[in-house]
Structure 1
Amino acid sequence: MSQMQRNIANGGTVDGGSPRVTVLIPAYNRADLLPTAVTSVQAQTEGRWRCIVIDDGSTDDTRAVATRFAQRDERIEVLALSENRGLGNALQAGLERVKTPYFVILDSDDWFSPDAISRCLNKMEQADDDVSLVCADGVYWVQAEDGSLHRDRVQKGRAFADKYEFFCYGPNLVPRFLRTEAVRAVGGFENDPAGHGRYLEDKLLLLKLIAHGRFAYVEQELYNIRQHAHNMTHPSDRARFQAIKRQMYERMMREWGDEYEIEWEEHPEGWLDVKTLHPRRRS
């Protein structure tokens, strides 16, 4: 009997306990890739989870694919949005249904390593209450035209000495394993004036969280990131991303007391990051 079958036979958990974690999988037109994401959740060594697949108004068979998984596994449910709202707004809709003390985000074209939930859960439950997020290392996989995957590189996660160190950190943290109460306390996934809940929604949430607590890190490869043609940002969109990022970060700096001036740097491929922070001179 497989681990997945044992989980289902035990009423949705390995040890019969109540779910501790909800996996949120926002999906828009991902009928082809969604099964890999969901199957990686079912294969977890930790069985105390629920999974909500959020169909963000897809026009393909994403909803049907998710529904078939839900019909076979009672731990999985489908939240079908009537129209496309964007990633941040879809996650906020999913957050409203979370009943567990923790939740973790899984992009619909990515997948977990088998012990991702157990490692992050153990780290979180051993941490102090001011730890709002657990992250780990992520492995990038390049998808070729024939669908085969080739391991590319590892993105190391980390903890941070303070909020300003995270402010200057460019990459996305993965997985984003979050304390539900802390996320709700900072307003959840905001439909902000800059990105309107469609751009940089994850970074905005983490900037709000780091201002009130700490992040913890598991030094292990727990998350797999698929690089393919449909998740690459087109060069024509980069100017928009740059403008949104500037507005968002300048807003957060003001909310933090406006103690530093931001020096930006643009990568050769067009991405914008914080190079350093300069203390403002006070008159």
Structure 2
Amino acid sequence: MTLISDSAKPAVTILLPTFSRAHYLPFALESALQQTFQDFELIILDDASTDDTEAVAARYVERDSRIRYVRHPHNLGITRNWRFGLEAASGEFLCFLEDDDVFLPDFLEKMTAPLRRDPSLILSFCDHWNMDASGSRLHARTEELSRVFRRNILAEGVVADLVQTAILDTSIGITAAMFRREHLRSAFIDDRALGGIDLWFLYQCAKTGRGGWYLPERLMEYRLHSAGMSHSMPALMGLGHLFLYEEALKDPANARLRPALRKRFAETAASRGIHLLQTEKPMEARRALRLSLRAKVTLRALTACALTFLGMHGSSATSTIR
């Protein structure tokens, strides 16, 4: 076990953004306190919760001096809450712990190790378990998502292309990563990327030209919820991802990735348009679908765009689009 150093600053800052999840918060906090690596500070960033979050946090602050609690009187939203945390951090390294997720005991120890060995790295990342709302591991789903996000083909070590790994393969989970804080900037968190702020943050890290190290172990547990996503979230995510891909397409350094980025932009715009059509917003849907078609002509986007001219009948027919 690595104990707290004599340095005034901790080795790791754990940022824990939260909003009204008092029932899950103790599991996240306990997982941090049970780390084999103990040289850390933990900052709870309460975005104006309306439940018992403050009372839960107070118990942990009283119990452990490494825990700080910040409550915003008004809801800032995820981007400003993250930015506040980034500016408040003092550790050499930084990681995010979601209020409903869990670090396994050796997460900090194993994730800081490659960054300590190699100062050229800006981040390390690992695979992770998926669990259901009650905390039971979903073994088949975990294996499936490791394949979907291509972590199953990554070897341990420095990844060959961090931009592709971060924003095209989307192999890096923001809460399954550790960052070298000195290279992070507040500008890495952009309000225009809302809904895709995690990918934008990772893209900014990759753009520094510094390396990323992959550790093929499952060192944290990510909670999947079967319900609870608001109707606005898919459209919001689409906007954030469109901003990301549009900016990435402008960067001359990404010339080799442009065909894949253009394809991803088209797919994302089409999905956003179809979602808007399903929620009976045909004019907004048509604008998104035209963006998709300008990037790449596909039967999916053409069909959806045609349906935007059919009013309510078009909205009800979106189930036929694959």
Query: What is the TM-score of this pair, normalised by structure 2?
Result: 0.70
Distance 1:135 1:148 in 2: 22
Structure index of larger Rg: 2
- Residue of structure 2 aligned with 1:218, choices 215, 218, 233: 215
Q: Do the aligned partners of 2:45 and 2:70 also contact (CA within 8 Å) in 1?
A: yes
Q: Which residue of 1 aligns with 2:138?
A: 151
- Taking every aligned residue pair, what percent have the same amino acid on both sides? 24
Q: Do the aligned partners of 1:123 and 1:218 also contact (CA within 8 Å) in 2?
A: no
* Superposed CA offset, 1:145-201 (max 9, x none): xx35243314544553224422311354241211111112x724222x342xxx211
The 3-state SS of whatever aligns with 2:109 is: helix
Deviation, 1:127, is: 1.6
Amino acid paired to 1:134: S
Q: Do the aligned partners of 1:21 and 1:100 also contact (CA within 8 Å) in 2?
A: yes
Q: Do the aligned partners of 2:163 and 2:203 also contact (CA within 8 Å) in 1?
A: no
- Residue of structure 2 aligned with 1:252, choices 240, 248, 251: 248
Q: Tell me: CA distance 1:20–1:164, structure 2 relative to 1, closer, same or farther (3 Å).
A: closer
User: For the aligned residues, what is the CA RMSD?
Assistant: 2.7
Runs of 5+ unmatched residues, structure 1: 4-12, 279-283
Deviation, 1:67, is: 1.6
| Residue 48 of structure 2 corresponds to residue 57 of structure 1 | yes
Q: Do the aligned partners of 1:160 and 1:215 also contact (CA within 8 Å) in 2?
A: yes
Distance 1:142 1:103 in 2: 26
Deviation, 1:256, is: 4.2
Q: Which residue of 2 aligns with 1:9?
A: none
- Residue of structure 2 aligned with 1:47, choices 35, 38, 59: 38
The 3-state SS of whatever aligns with 1:103 is: strand
* Superposed CA offset, 1:114-150 (max 9, x none): 0000001111101232x1111111100112xxx3524
- Residue of structure 2 aligned with 1:201, choices 173, 197, 201: 197
Distance 2:241 2:161 in 1: 20
Amino acid paired to 1:238: P
Q: Do the aligned partners of 1:67 and 1:77 also contact (CA within 8 Å) in 2?
A: no
- After the TM superposition, which segments of 4 or more aligned residues of structure 1 sit over 6 Å from their partners? none
Would you tell me which structure has more strand in proportion to its own residues?
1
For 1:90-239, what aligned pairs fall within 5 Å after superposition? Answer: 90-129=81-120, 131-143=121-133, 147=134, 149-152=136-139, 153-154=142-143, 155-156=145-146, 157=151, 158=154, 160-166=159-165, 167-173=167-173, 174-184=175-185, 187-191=187-191, 193-195=192-194, 199-212=195-208, 213-229=210-226, 233-234=229-230, 237-239=233-235
